[in-house]
Amino acid sequence: MWKEDVTVGVTIGQAAKAVDVNVETIRYYHRIGLLPLPPRAHGSIRRYSIDSVRRLSFIRRAQQLGFSLDEIAELLQLEKTRSCGSARNIAEAKLADVTRKIADLSSIQNYLASLVRRCKAGKTADCPIFEALLPLS
């Protein structure tokens, strides 16, 4: 006999495996309203549609791009209107953010590199790392 609903979509475990995420994480996304609860088939067990899984994988990809869950929620809201301008605003803000972070890290990189370089070159007696970082006593 053909059980119509039960096999439509995947279980939470399969969805989790598909996007390489913890089952508890998916539940957490439900809790905070980031991912709508999928329909239940017969029993109490949820079935995740292809769309649900795609939404989940979007969340992970956006996270990798440095978006917070709040920002991701905002982006997912935009899906309803498909407002190109709003999405671009968010993307541009995030781009500015990332650019600033890169600049900050670059100056840290330069400083650390110069410390290491001078440390390698110099005598052990006056290690520039200690001089720069630990000006105690």
Partner DNA sequence: TGTATCCCTGTACCCAAGTACGGAGTCAAG
Partner DNA sequence: CTTGACTCCGTACTTGGGTACAGGGATACA
The contact set with its own copies (CB under 8 A) reads 51, 54-55, 58, 61-62, 64-66, 75-76, 78-79, 82, 84, 87-88, 91-92, 94-95, 98-99, 101-102, 105-106, 108-109, 111-113, 115-116, 119-120, 124, 127, 129-130, 133-137
User: Which token pair is 44?
Assistant: 């109490």
Residue whose pair of structure tokens reads 């994480």 in the numeric block:
25
Helices 50-64, 23-31: axis angle to 10 degrees equals 90
CB of 40 closer than 8 Å to CB of 47 = yes
Residues in 9-28 at the binding interface with DNA, rule: CB under 7 A: 11-14, 22-25, 27-28
66: left (phi over 0), alpha (psi -120 to 50) or beta: left
In the complex, the smallest distance separating the C-beta of residue 88 from DNA, rounded to whole angstroms, is 21
Could you give phi then psi for residue 48, rounded to 5 degrees? -95, 125
State the binding string over 67-106 for DNA (x if CB under 7 A, else -): -xxx------------------------------------
Residues contributing to the site for DNA (CB under 7 A) = 6, 11-14, 22-25, 27-28, 31, 37, 42-46, 63, 68-70
